[in-house]
A and B are shown apart, each in its own frame.
Chain A
Amino acid sequence: MKLHNFILFTALFLFFTGDALAQLTIYSGRSKALVDPIIAKFEEETGINVRIRFGGTTQLAVAIMEEGRRSPADVFWGQDGGALGALHNQGLLANLPEPILGGIPEGFKNNDRTWVATSGRARVLAYNERRVSQDNLPESIFDLTKPEWRGKVGWSPANASFQSFVTAMRKNLGEEQTRQWLTDMKNNGAVAYNNNNSIIQAIAAGEVELGITNHYYIERMRSENPTYTVNMTFFSDNDIGNLLNVAGVGVLNSSRNKENAERFIAFLLSDEIQRYFVNETFEYPVIYGMDDYDSKLIEALEVSPSMDLELLSDLDATLRLLRSVGLL
């Protein structure tokens, strides 16, 4: 009896998990908290039925590579230019139609037009206001290796956005200088955390005084709690520590719902959703012409080093470097 029921159960499951109903399947490295409201709006406006698989950006990119032609994904939405570049390099992404990309500045879309940024995120220096005075903050990411910061800096060598920053450093300043910086940081007792958020919590707890993280976590914390002791700043203009990375999307070559996928991307680039990113996630928009929002984007572009985001896909060499320095 029990066994019969079980077999029946299993058969029903198998039956109901087919993708007959979905008209658009998204693999999202962006968090559910952020994505769900956008999807709800999109479904409401277009009547398109969406399925989403959430996960880590790199993890989902790897899943798509393993799945190959059989991938159920129509759209890949990642937190990091590197992962999009990696999919592009494998020839897995389809060309995007020019009208979608019209208002997007160069640098926020790749040269072959297979992916486009949906929002910008900057690397910043986070610090504990109670413990460090603003006048004493380091000017450059290379100052973090000075003895005065010994054991006081938090970082996250295992984190994808940190690794993208290291890739950028390699491309801009060369292997040797990057290796030297990593080694100096390690010897200076930089404290490794598992992700950006853990760094910020450690700074708030007074475990470390400084940290290198993405910018938007801190803005969110401060908006929720005005007395929050963690603040942030950029290094001096064009310092590689101010890298402006992106979250972005691409449509898969293997997709059978390309039209819906493109509609979704156009939707993400609309004023409405761009405002949502700025207000809810404190990221930078990727389009101009939204009044008060422009100044933020202009500021971020000014302080960040110029960087071809496509080069960030060279992750393997970065991982080899991190391993050889003993950080991974």
Chain B
Amino acid sequence: MRLPYFLRKLPPWYFLLPSVFIGLAVSIPLVYLIIRALGGDFSETTELLFRQRNLVLFWNTVSLTLGVVVVTTLVSYPLAWLSTRSDIPAKKFITMIGVLPLALPGYVVAYAILGLGGDNGTLAMVFGLEISRLTGYWGSLLAVSLYTFPYLFLNLRAGFLGLDPSTEEAARSLGYSSFQILRKVTIPQLRPSFLAGILIITLYVLGDFGAVSLMRFETLSYSLYIQYAASFDRIYAAIIALILISITVVVLVLEYKLLKGLLFYRAGTGTGRKMRESKLGKLRWISYGFVGAIILFSLIIPIFTILYWMAQGVSPAVWANLGDAIRSSVLVSAPAAVLSVLMAIPLAYIAVRFPSRTSNILQRFAYLGYATPPLALALAFIFFSLNVVPVLYQTFALLIFAYALHFLAEAIGPVRSSLYQASPKLEEAAMSLGMNRFKAFLKSTLPLLFNGIIVGASFVFLSAMKELPITFLLAPIGLDTLAVNVWSYSAEGMFAEAAPFALSILFFSVFFVGILFSREWKS
């Protein structure tokens, strides 16, 4: 029996159903927030919505986000270029530098930067230099940029590696100078990678409150956290969360418009030839200085801060707890990484193989999960589980599902990119040999997605290891992760006790980042 035309155009059910399910799951928090926001007295709700203070928070949020976009771009573009296209030595090392900051919890970076200045700061102790502490907008800008730039760096790096050398050679043969090639050929081709990285960074900044709260810079997320932590009523918190989500919807639409028609640049890989390395020449020492500055701020200062804390003497009870915390962190982060990727595959598949308005909207839903402030997401899941599926309340299953849903956006990018590079012809060939579509996908396409899957899973793993608000709210009783320990001890001013947990996060992340890149380097 032949299916009617519109049904034949639909993706197969085993990809469509999970996608729709994910879309529905992401909507749970939205529905919850709207119910909560409307649950209040109408005049009070409008009063809270149109407070002048919201404007200040809004402006702070937008200006910080824009600032971070500018700074991370200025850091990531040169670093990505150096690590792929220049003749700088130790490229693997530079790549590691561009990834490792992902392993640092944002508030640890903030503590490290705060610890530099002041009467008793590191600079005063070591160099006798008493400068005031870097706080507020500039402190937040520096801290947030330092731990988010890897998202852009990794995307651009993949973009540089995926470029087809022949376009640049063609431009050169037409008499373009190196600079003109960069501006007119290379950078435009990197736009999809650039936008993918910027999107993740933007959404991350919008939802982050750890560093900004320590820097005393009041953004919407920080305010949301305050309302949530302090208050017994949820109305204002819900309103702020909805304002935040509205901003992210604007960002998503903007990204979609900018990306439209660009995506097929990615298809130009597969020429087996290597890109020529550019000689750094006079720029060599400037490049070394640039890389050195990044190492200093994003790695040396935070890591030394942690070691300095530890040198103050850690109470023995902490060591007894450490093993438990490591186990808990890995036991929830690893399944979350696997689940995220399993969710990302169908979404990416229907978006790439069955491009349509619907599949695109479904894919955007993945980003909406990322954009929903984690606190709001966690509250919604508490509410939902208590009222609809009480057996799931405070279980590992719910926590892992919430992680996976929230971090899905980090997994979907790499999976989608590798799917673009996997030719549909292979699947068609497999089907013509008598396999059904699902088997053909498993046998021919899935192995080609391996790299994207590993990268995506690593992103989610690293993020889940650092995650706080969702863990605080949804963790089963007694589960206590590395990140929760770092946060709790440091908030009490017990930095020595926080240090071993922070180092463990770093250690495990390095381990996983190692796995992530060992494959690429082997080949």
Q: Is B497 an interface residue (CB 8 A)?
A: yes
One of B121, B233, B317, B390 near A70 (C-beta < 8 A)? B390
For B263, what are the chain A residues with a Cβ–Cβ distance below 8 Å? none
The residue on B at minimum CB distance from A19 is: B477
For A130, what are the chain B residues with a Cβ–Cβ distance below 8 Å? 119
**Total A-B Cβ pairs within 8 A:** 152
Q: Is A201 an interface residue (CB 8 A)?
A: yes
For B228, what are the chain A residues with a Cβ–Cβ distance below 8 Å? 59
The CB with the most chain A CB atoms within 10 A, among B230, B396, B491, is that of B230
A59 & B472 in contact (Cβ 8 Å cutoff): yes
B119 & A194 in contact (Cβ 8 Å cutoff): no
For A70, what are the chain B residues with a Cβ–Cβ distance below 8 Å? 386, 390, 393
Q: Is B66 an interface residue (CB 8 A)?
A: no
The residue on A at minimum CB distance from B227 is: A328
Interface members, chain B 392-416 (any A CB < 8 Å): 392-397, 400
For B383, what are the chain A residues with a Cβ–Cβ distance below 8 Å? 66
For B214, what are the chain A residues with a Cβ–Cβ distance below 8 Å? 194, 198
B489 & A205 in contact (Cβ 8 Å cutoff): no
Q: Is B467 an interface residue (CB 8 A)?
A: no
B230 & A163 in contact (Cβ 8 Å cutoff): yes
Q: Is A94 an interface residue (CB 8 A)?
A: no
A195-B230 Cα distance, complex, nearest whole Å: 12
A62-B472 Cα distance, complex, nearest whole Å: 13
Chain B proximity mask over A170-208: 1 for CB below 8 Å, otherwise 0:
000000000000000000000111110110111011110
Q: Is B19 an interface residue (CB 8 A)?
A: no
- Within the complex, the shortest CB–CB distance from A152 to chain B, in Å, comes to 13
A224-B312 Cα distance, complex, nearest whole Å: 9
A316 & B216 in contact (Cβ 8 Å cutoff): no
Q: Is A274 an interface residue (CB 8 A)?
A: no
A25-B476 Cα distance, complex, nearest whole Å: 12
User: Given A9-B335, A86-B232, do A52 and B216 touch, yes or no (CB 8 Å)?
Assistant: no
Classify chain B's interface size: 35 or more
One of A33, A194, A323, A328 near B492 (C-beta < 8 A)? A33
For B251, what are the chain A residues with a Cβ–Cβ distance below 8 Å? none
Chain B proximity mask over A48-81: 1 for CB below 8 Å, otherwise 0:
0001111110110111011100101000000000
A53 & B477 in contact (Cβ 8 Å cutoff): yes
A328 & B226 in contact (Cβ 8 Å cutoff): yes
For B233, what are the chain A residues with a Cβ–Cβ distance below 8 Å? 316, 319
- Within the complex, the shortest CB–CB distance from A28 to chain B, in Å, comes to 11
A6-B336 Cα distance, complex, nearest whole Å: 10
A12-B342 Cα distance, complex, nearest whole Å: 19
One of B339, B393, B472 near A6 (C-beta < 8 A)? B339
A206 & B53 in contact (Cβ 8 Å cutoff): no
A66-B232 Cα distance, complex, nearest whole Å: 10
The residue on B at minimum CB distance from A65 is: B232
Q: Is A36 an interface residue (CB 8 A)?
A: yes
Q: Is A158 an interface residue (CB 8 A)?
A: yes
Q: Is B434 an interface residue (CB 8 A)?
A: no
The residue on B at minimum CB distance from A192 is: B216
Q: Is B166 an interface residue (CB 8 A)?
A: no
A205 & B117 in contact (Cβ 8 Å cutoff): yes
For A133, what are the chain B residues with a Cβ–Cβ distance below 8 Å? none
B133 & A33 in contact (Cβ 8 Å cutoff): no
The CB with the most chain A CB atoms within 10 A, among B228, B312, B492, is that of B492
A17 & B232 in contact (Cβ 8 Å cutoff): no
For A323, what are the chain B residues with a Cβ–Cβ distance below 8 Å? 51, 53, 236
Other A-B contacts than A33-B317, A59-B473, A323-B236, 6 sampled, CB-CB below 8 A, are A6-B342, A52-B477, A58-B232, A201-B114, A224-B312, A328-B227
Which 3 pairs across A and B sit closest by C-beta, in order of nearness?
A: A205-B118, A13-B396, A206-B119
Q: Can you offer 22 A-B residue contacts whose CB atoms are under 8 A?
A: A2-B338, A6-B338, A10-B335, A14-B397, A17-B396, A17-B476, A22-B477, A32-B485, A33-B488, A36-B321, A52-B478, A59-B229, A61-B232, A67-B386, A159-B230, A197-B492, A206-B120, A207-B133, A217-B492, A221-B493, A323-B53, A328-B223
